[in-house]
Amino acid sequence: MQEIAEGSLLTLIWVGIVGFAVFMYVLMDGFDLGIGILYPFAPTEEDRDTMMNTVAPVWDFNETWLVLGGAGLFAAFPIAYAVVLPAMYLPLLVMLIALIFRGVAFEFRFKARAGRPWWNRSFFLGSLLATFAQGVVLGSFIQGIPVYERQFIGGMLHWLSPFSLFCGVALVVGYALLGATWLIWRTIGPLQDWCFRMARRLMLVVLAGVAAVSLWTPFLLPQIAERWFSLPNLIFLSPVPIVTAVLAFALWRAIDNSREVAPFVLSMALFALSYLGLAISLWPHLIPPGVTVWEAAAPPKTQVFLLVGMAFLIPAILGYTAYSYWIFRGKVTGAFGYH
Amino acid sequence: MELDPLILSRIQFAFTISFHILFPSFTVGLACWIALLEALWVGTGKGIYRSLSEFWTRIFALSFGLGVVSGIVMSYQFGTNWSRWSDTVGNVLGPLIQYEVVTAFFLEAAFLGILLFGRDRVPRGIHLMAACLVALGTLLSSFWILSANSWMHTPAGFEIQDGRYFVTDWWQVVFNPSFPYRLTHMVTAMFLTTSFVVAGISAFYLLKRRHSDHAKLGLGMALGLITVLAPLQIFLGDQHGLNTLEHQPAKIAAMEGNWEGGPRAPLVLFAIPDVKAETNHLEIGIPALSSLILTHDFNGTVPGLKQFPADQRPDPRIIFWTFRLMVGIGMLMLTVAVVHLVLRFRGRLYSSDWFHRILVGCMPIGFVAILAGWFTTEIGRQPWVVYGHLRTADAVTPSLTVEAALVSLISFVVAYAIIYGAGTYYLIRLLRTGPTHIHDAKQPPEAQRPKRPLSAADQSIEAAE
C-alpha cells in the first residue's frame, strides 16, 4: 500500500513537470510564433526588423521547451510518446518542417538581399503552419487516440476532423494575440499603436474561439460532459469559466487604456486558464480516452532517477532564463540592431 | 529492394542523423576554442583574441542554429518512426535524453544568447562565463547522447519484464561497457574536426595573404592540437576496437571483411565482399596482421562472419569500406601532424604555400571520418537496434504506412537540401569575409552590436569596400 502511494505521488509530480514544460513551451514559443504570424501584416519592413529583433536572442531557447516536452514524455510516460507521436505523424511532420524553415529565417533573413522576401515568407509560413499543426495535434489529442497492445492502431489520417482543424485555426489566433501583446510591451510608436489595434481584434476572436472549443469539447466525449456538468462538479469548477470571463474583461480594459505590460500578462493568464480547463477535462487520462497517467507512468526507479536531477535543474533553468530575459529587457526600436 | 516502412524509416533516420551530426561535430570543439580565446582576451587584453573569437562565434552561431533545428527533428523521430523501440526502452533511455535536454540544451541556448548579443550588456567576466557555459553545454550534450547510444550497443544494468526494459542499476546503464571508449573516441574526433577546419581556413587566408595575424594564430593553435590529438586518436580507436571485439565480435568480422575467422587472420586491404557466396572477391591482404592488431599476437584468433547465424550478421559491404576510410583519414591526420612538426622546427610553418594548400584540402576530412565511423558502428550493430535484444525490424512503428513514410522522407530531403544549401552558401560568405580588426585596449571602442551574427558580416563587407 505504502509503495502504491509513493508511486502515485511520483507520477503526480511527473504529470506536473511534463505539464509545466508543455505549458512553458506554449507561452514562450507562443509569442514568438505569434510574431511570425503577424509578420507580413506589419506596416513597414523596418517594423518587421524590429519585431524579429525583439525575439532574436531568445527564440532558440524558447523552442528548447518543445524538446523538453517531448523528451519528458519519452522518459516519464514512454507509452504516451510511443502512441501519440505515430498517431500525429503527418501533422508533426508539417510542424517540424515548418519550424526548420522559420528557425533558419532568423539567421538567413538579415544576410539575404535578393532572397530576403523569400526568408520573410519562410518565417511567416513556417510560424503559421507550425502553430496550425500544433493546434491540430491538440484537437486530435482531445478527441482520443485508439490504442491496442501499447501501440497506436488508427490510420495515418486519424487526426483529421472538423474539430482538430478548428483547434488549429484557434491556436493561430491565440498565438497571434500573445505575439501582439508581447510587441505592445517591447516596442514603441506606430508599431506599438498597430499592435494595440491588432490585439483588440484578435482578443475578440480568441474569446470566441475559447468559447467554441469549451462548448464543443463536452460533445466529443461523454466523460468530459460529465466532468463539467454533473453536480457537484458544476459548482466546484464554475470558477474556471468565471475567472476566464474576468480576465477577458481585464484584458479588454488594459488594451483600451493603452497599458503596456498588462495585456501580455493577461493574455498569458488566459492561456493558463484554457490549459487548466483542458487538464480538468482530460484528467486522469494521458491518452484519451483509454490510458490514464497511472497506467502510462514509467516505473518508480526511472521516475526517481530523473527527479533527483530535475529538482536542481528546473529551478536553475528558470533562474538563468530570467537572467537572460533581464539582460535583454527594455524597448526594442528600429534605431539599433540590424541595418 | 522493396520499399516498406522499415527501410524508409531507416533511410530517413540515417539521412537526418547524418546531417545533424555534422554540426555537433564542429560546434563542440569550436565552443571550447571560443571559450579559450575569450579567456585569452580577458587575460591579456589583446584585441586579436577578441576579434578572432567574434569571427568564429558568427560561424558557431550559424552552425548551432542549423544543429538546433535538425536536432528537434531527431527528438521527435524516435517516437514517430520507432514507436516500438520508444515503448520498449523508454524507461532506460528516456531519462538519458531528458538529462541531455535539461543539463545541456537549455544551458547552450540561454548562454548562446548572451555570448552573441550580450557583449555590451554584461561585464566582461560574465561574457567569458557565458562562453565557458556554452562549451560545457556542448560537452554535456555529447556525454548523455553518447551514453544512450552506447547502451544500445552494449546494454547493461537492466532486466526485461513483459518484453519491456526496466532499469536495475543506473550506474551500469550510464557507464555501460562501450561508453568510455565511444565518448573519448568521439570527443577527440570532434576536436580534430574543428582543428582541421580552423587550420584550413587559416591556411586559406595565408594563401590569399589576408588577415595574416589572425591566420597565423589560428593555424598555430589548430596544428598544435592536431599534433597531440591525432596520435592519441589512433590509440583510442584501437582501444575502442578491442572493446568492440569483446562485446560485438560480429561487427569486427564485418569491418575486417573476415568470413572464416581463426588464427593468423590477414589484414584485408582491398576486397569486394559477397554476402550470398559468403566470401570476398579480389581480396588483397597482409598475412596475420589483423590478428596482430586485434589480439596483439600474430597467432591470435579473430572472429569470422560465418561463425554467426546468417540472420545475426551485419552486412559487410558498406562497413568494410567506411571503416577503411576512417582509418585512412586517421593516418592522413597523423601525417599532417608530423609534417607540421618538421616545418615548425625549420621555421617554415607560415611560409610553405604547398602545405597550406594541403591544409585547405584537408578541411572536410574530420567530417568524413566521423560519418564513416558512425556508419561503421551503426550498420555494424545491425540487425539489432539494441544489440542482442531488440531487432531493428521489431522497433519500427506498426501503424506507419509506406505512403506516410515516403512523404516524410521526401519532405526532409527537400527541406534539408534547401536549408543546408543556403546555410553553406552563407557560411562560405562569412569565411570569405574573415575577421574584423579590433585594437588592443582596456576599453574597446563601442562596437555596433549585431542582433544576429550574419549582420556583422554585412558591416565588415561594407567596411572593407
Q: Pick B448 or B229 by higher pLDDT.
A: B229
User: B376: closest CA among B279, B192, B284, B252?
Assistant: B252
> Among candidates A157, A83, A98, A102, which has minimal Cα distance to A132?
A98
Nearest by CB: B415 against A74, A97, A153: A97
| Nine cell digits for residue A157 | 489520417
Q: Number of structural domains, chain A?
A: 1
Largest CA distance in chain B: 73
CB-CB under 8 Å, B90 with A82: yes
On the question of pLDDT at B224 being above 90, the answer is: yes
For residue B115, give the chain A residue with the closest CA. Answer: A57
Is A3 a residue whose pLDDT tops 60? no
| Closest CA of chain B from A306, distance in Å | 6
State residue B454's pLDDT score: 43
Dihedral angle sign, alpha carbons of residues B447, B451, B453, B458? negative
**What is the reported pLDDT for B458?**
40
With cell 524516435, the residue in question is B78
* pLDDT score, position A128: 96
Identify the CA nearest to B392 among candidates B7, B2, B47.
B7
**Domain assignment of residue A58, given as a range:** 2-327
CB nearest B454 (choices: A81, A82, A110)? A110
Q: How confident is the model at residue A7 (pLDDT cuts 50, 70, 90)?
A: low
B161–chain A Cβ distance below 8 A for any pair: no
Whether residue B47 lies within 8 A of chain A, CB to CB, comes out as: no
B36, with CB counted inside 10 A (0-12, 13-18, 19+), is middle
Q: What is the mean pLDDT of residues A159-185?
A: 93
From the candidates B15, B80, B115, B167, which should be mutated to test the interface with A, based on the most A CB atoms within 10 A? B80
Q: Quick count: other Cβ atoms within 10 Å of Cβ B130?
A: 26
Per the CB < 8 A criterion, the answer to whether A15 and A293 are in contact is: yes
Which residue's C-alpha cell is 516519464?
A76
The average pLDDT across B319-330 equals: 93
User: What type of residue is A112?
Assistant: A
Confidence at B253, pLDDT banded by 50, 70, 90 = confident
Instruction: Check the CA dihedral B361-B363-B367-B372 and report its sign.
Output: positive
Q: Look at the alpha carbons of B101, B102, B108, B111 in this order and tell me if their dihedral is positive or negative.
A: positive
Contact indicator for B27, B67 with CB cutoff of 8 Å? yes
Is residue B381 within 8 Å of residue B244, measured between CB atoms?
no
pLDDT at B233 over 90: yes
**Using an 8 Å Cβ cutoff, are B430 and B457 in contact?**
yes
- Would you say B215 and B49 are in contact if contact means Cβ atoms under 8 Å apart? no
- Nearest residue in chain A measured CA to CA from B98: A71
Mean pLDDT of B219-226: 93
Distances (CA, A) of B431 to B47, B62, B201: 19, 12, 7
Q: Is the pLDDT of residue B463 over 70?
A: no
Strand partners, A292: A285
Output the DSSP codes for B112-179.
HHHHHH-TTTS-HHHHHHHHHHHHHHHHHHHHHHHHHHHHHHS--SEEEETTEEEES-HHHHHT-TTH
Q: Is residue B10 within 8 Å of B393, Cβ to Cβ?
A: no
Per the CB < 8 A criterion, the answer to whether B308 and B364 are in contact is: no
Rounded to 5°, the CA angle A60-B191-B214 comes to 85
Rounded to two decimals, the ipTM of the complex is 0.88
CB B271 within 8 A of CB B261: no
A313: in domain: yes
Confidence of residue B440 (pLDDT cuts 50, 70, 90): low
For chain B, counts of helices (H) and of strands (E): 15, 6
Alpha helices in A77-161 (DSSP H): 78-87, 89-108, 116-143
pLDDT in tens, B12-54: 999 999 999 998 889 999 999 999 999 999 888 888 898 889 8
Interchain contact A67–B (C-beta under 8 A):
yes
* β-bridge mates for residue A206, sequence order: none
Instruction: Report the b/e string of B324-348 with b at 16+ CB within 10 A.
Output: bbbbebbebbbebbebbeebeeeee
Can you tell me the mean pLDDT for B361-367? 94
| pLDDT classification of B439: cutoffs 50, 70, 90 | low
**Residues of chain B contacting A89 with CB distance shorter than 8 Å:** 80, 397, 400, 404, 408
What is the pLDDT averaged over residues B318-337?
93
Give percent of chain A above pLDDT 90: 29
Burial of B106 (0-12, 13-18, 19+ CB in 10 A): buried
Strand duo B158-161 + B164-167: pairing: antiparallel
**Could B106 and A317 be called an inter-chain contact, meaning their C-beta atoms sit closer than 8 Å?**
yes
Whether the per-residue pLDDT at B455 is higher than 50: the answer is no
Predicted pLDDT at A226? 84
**Strand duo B390-391 + B384-386: pairing:** antiparallel
Per DSSP, the three-state class of B167 is strand
Does the pLDDT value for residue B140 go beyond 50? yes
- Angle, nearest 10°, between helix axes A116-143 and A2-38? 150
A155 shares contact with chain B (CB less than 8 Å): yes
Length of chain B: 465
> Is a pLDDT exceeding 90 seen at residue A334?
no
pLDDT exceeds 90 at position B269: no
Say whether residue B192 is in contact with chain A using an 8 A CB cutoff. Answer: no
**Residue B115 contacts residue B449 (beta carbons within 8 Å):** no
The residue written with cell numbers 540592431 in the block is A337
The per-residue pLDDT for A6 is 56
Q: Answer whether A20 touches B (CB < 8 Å).
A: no
Does any CB of chain B come closer than 8 Å to the CB of residue A320? yes
C-alpha distance from B176 to closest chain A C-alpha (Å): 16
Instruction: Note the pLDDT tens digit of each residue in A285-295.
Output: 888 878 888 88
Could you give the C-alpha distances from B17 to B13, B83, B102, in angstroms and in order?
A: 6, 17, 21
Give CA separation, A183 vs A28, A51, A58, A327, in Å. Answer: 13, 7, 14, 17
A279 contacts: CB under 8 Å, gap ≥ 6: A19
Mean pLDDT value of segment A263-276: 91
Distance CA B98, CA A310 (A): 9
Residue A124 grid cell: 511567416
Residue A7 in contact with partner chain B when CB distance is under 8 A: no
Residues in chain A with CB shorter than 8 Å from the CB of B449 are: 336-337
Is B299 within 8 Å of chain A by CB?
Answer: no
* A276 vs B: CB within 8 A: no
- Which residues of B, range 66-125, sit inside 8 Å of A by Cβ? 66, 68-73, 75-76, 78-81, 83-84, 86-87, 89-95, 97-103, 105-107, 109-114, 116-118, 121-122
Of A80, A119, A88, nearest in space to B408 by CA? A88
Q: Which of A106-115, A181-190, B189-198 has the lowest mean pLDDT?
A: A106-115
What is this structure's pTM?
A: 0.88
pLDDT digit string, tens, across residues B160-192: 988 889 999 999 999 999 999 999 999 999 999
DSSP state of B283: E
Residue pair A39/A318 in contact by the 8 Å Cβ criterion: no
At A199-235, the pLDDT tens digits run 999 999 999 998 898 888 888 888 888 888 887 888 8
C-beta atoms of A72 and B98 within 8 A: yes
Residue B108 exposure: Cα atoms within 13 Å on the Cβ side: 29
List pLDDT tens digits, range A88-132. Answer: 999 999 999 999 999 888 878 877 777 888 899 999 999 999 999
Query: Is the peptide bond prior to B383 cis by the omega test (within 30 degrees of 0)?
Result: yes
Which residues of chain A are within 8 Å of residue B158 when distances are taken between CB atoms?
none
Q: Which residue is closest to B418 within chain A, CA to CA?
A: A101
Closest residue to A57, CB basis, from B78, B86, B113:
B113
Residue B14: per-residue pLDDT: 93
Residue A336 lies in a domain: no
SS3 assignment for B131-148: HHHHHHHHHHHHHHHHHH
Res B460 pLDDT > 70: no
Residues of chain A neighbouring B97 (CB-CB closer than 8 A): 71, 74-75
Contact B111/B137 with Cβ under 8 angstroms?
Answer: yes
Distance (Å) from the C-alpha of residue B38 to the closest C-alpha of chain A?
20
pLDDT for residue B465 is more than 80 = no
B137: left (phi over 0), alpha (psi -120 to 50) or beta: alpha
pLDDT, tens digit (0-9, with 9 covering 90-100), for A26-55: 888 899 899 999 999 988 888 888 898 888
Instruction: Report residue B245 as a C-alpha cell.
Output: 571485439
Nearest to B26 by CA among B457, B426, B376, B366: B366
Give the chain A residue nearest B105 (alpha carbons): A64
A240 has a pLDDT exceeding 90: no
How would residue B462 be classed by pLDDT, with cut points 50, 70 and 90? very low
